[in-house]
Amino acid sequence: MPRCFICKEPVVLATCVADERGRSVHEGCYLRKQDGAEQEKKENAVKKTLRKWLLKHDKF
């Protein structure tokens, strides 16, 4: 039986989904991974903005 690429648990091919690379994953695992990636993008944008502000105001 194939395993979920994210959690490594078995997946049922009839009910699993494929990630962006065509690998079998549980839908819940995929959604949690996507949510984490979006959160990381937001955090990086905030860090970048703060860094620019600190450099501009000589606080860094």
| In the chain, where the domains are located | 1-60
Concatenate the DSSP letters of all residues of 1-60 into one string. --B-TTT--B--TTT-EE-TTS-EE-HHHHHHHHHHHHHHHHHHHHHHHHHHHHHHTT--
Per-residue pLDDT of the chain (60 residues; tens, 9 = 90+): 899 999 999 999 898 999 999 999 999 999 999 999 999 999 999 999 999 988 988 865
pLDDT of amino acid 57: 85
CA–CA separation, 25 and 43 (whole Å): 26
CA–CA separation, 3 and 13 (whole Å): 10
| pTM passes above 0.85 | no
CA–CA separation, 22 and 59 (whole Å): 46
pLDDT of amino acid 30: 94
pLDDT of amino acid 60: 57
pLDDT of amino acid 58: 80
